[in-house]
Amino acid sequence: MGVNSTTSFFVATILFCLAIIISLGSKKHSPRACSLWVLGVGLWVSSAGFAYLFSIVNQMDIVAFWVRGCYFWGAFIGISAFYFSLTYPNNYKPPVFVRTALILVFFLTMALTYMKDIFNLLGRGDIVPSQTVIADAFISNGYLHWTFGSLYIFWDLIFFGFWSATLAVLWQKYKQQTEVNLRRQCLYMFWAITSGIVPGILLNTIFPWVGIFQLFWVGLMASLVWVSIMTYSIIKDNQMSLLVVTNELLVIALILLMFIGMFAY
């Protein structure tokens, strides 16, 4: 599991860099929404990395916390993907009530996922573990496993609901677009997202539900492929200046290296 944590952190770092590239490359609404989405994917992968890391030292309470983080950020990815679909491809800014509703769903999902941890902080640690999304984590046959609580069905509704809505919005925009280039962009993004979420749904959602955890990390690695394809499309469609963005990213990287070096020595 040491390899799993290392590769997860490596992929998460690349995803964070891609999010920065998209965010700095354009001030348009659609790229900014996409950068938020990619950031969510990075946080999802890094949460898995921390879960694998703490499982090495057998601190299963902390592992369960980070596994819950995986599912929280997984739901956030669906929410942010739906928001992105509303803005794409013409940089449309959804009305305030839509953004407010999505923020409320975000906090509702957080409360739902971290209910056990919230009750512990409030001194109500007697909450039944099964009355959560993720009850606990354990090691079996050398692989990290976890058990699902009775509230997991609500997570499923949020996750699959927003992903279905995302694809429906993009397909509807494809059918309604009359401008050839925008129509092509909608179709390309629809199939890029569809092909990207299928491995994630299988390996990171359905397989764990039926007790197959050995391939969970493969889904984490696969996220880098479709996010890179999506990032390329966003950069190309918005005609970003990669030279300017790369220079800005190098400056950030140098600052981070200097910061890390201060603690390394």
What is the CA angle 138-201-106, rounded to 5? 80
Tell me the CA distances in angstroms from 10 to 4, 7, 13, 66, 220, one per residue in order. Answer: 10, 5, 5, 17, 11
8-state DSSP, 127: S
Tell whether the model's pLDDT for residue 155 goes beyond 70: yes
Site of tokens 């923020």 = 103
What is the tens place of the pLDDT at every residue in 181-201?
888 888 888 988 888 888 889
Nearest to 216 by CA among 225, 207, 224, 227: 207
**Candidates 2.10.240, 1.10.260, 1.10.287, 1.20.1070; CATH matching 2-264:** 1.20.1070
Verify cis geometry, omega within 30 degrees of 0, for the bond prior to 199.
no
Give pLDDT, residue 17. 80
What is the tens place of the pLDDT at every residue in 77-125?
999 999 999 998 888 889 999 999 999 999 999 988 888 777 777 766 5
Break the chain into its structural domains and give their ranges. 2-264
Compute the average pLDDT of residues 159-180.
Answer: 92
Residue 264: band (very low, low, confident or very high) from pLDDT cuts 50, 70, 90: very low
Cα separation of 134 and 118, whole Å? Answer: 13
Compute the average pLDDT of residues 220-248.
Answer: 68
Site of tokens 């092509």 = 184
Helix, strand, or coil here: 153? helix
pTM more than 0.75 = yes
Tell whether the model's pLDDT for residue 129 goes beyond 70: no
Give pLDDT, residue 265. 45
Angle between helix 29-56 and helix 216-237 axes, rounded to 10 deg: 160
Give pLDDT, residue 98. 93
The two three-digit tokens of residue 199, written as one number: 């491995």
What percentage of the chain reaches a pLDDT higher than 70? Answer: 84
